[in-house]
Copies of this chain bind each other. A is one copy, B any other.
Amino acid sequence: MGRFQHLRHLPPSQLSQPRELCMAVSPLRSSVNLSRMVRLAGCSGIRDVHYCGGGKVDPNIARDAVDYVNVEFRRSLPPVLKKLKDAGFRLVGLEQTSNSCCIYDYRFQRRTALVIGSEREGLSQPALDLLDDVIEIPVYGLPASYNVVTATTMAVYEYCRQFPQG
Binding site for B on A (CB under 8 A): 2-13, 15, 19, 36, 39-47, 63-65, 67-69, 93, 95-100, 104, 122-123, 125, 128-129, 131, 134, 137-147, 149-150, 153-154, 157-158, 160-161, 164, 166
Kindly report how many copies of this chain are found in the complex they form together: 2
Closest beta carbon of chain B to A155's beta carbon, Å: 9
Q: Which of B42, B64, B137, B142 contacts A65 (CB 8 A)?
A: B142
Q: Which of B15, B19, B142 contacts A12 (CB 8 A)?
A: B142
Tell me if B43 and A98 are in contact (CB < 8 A).
Answer: no
Using A141-B12, A157-B157 as known contacts, say yes or no to A6 and B95 having CB atoms under 8 A apart: yes
Closest beta carbon of chain B to A151's beta carbon, Å: 9
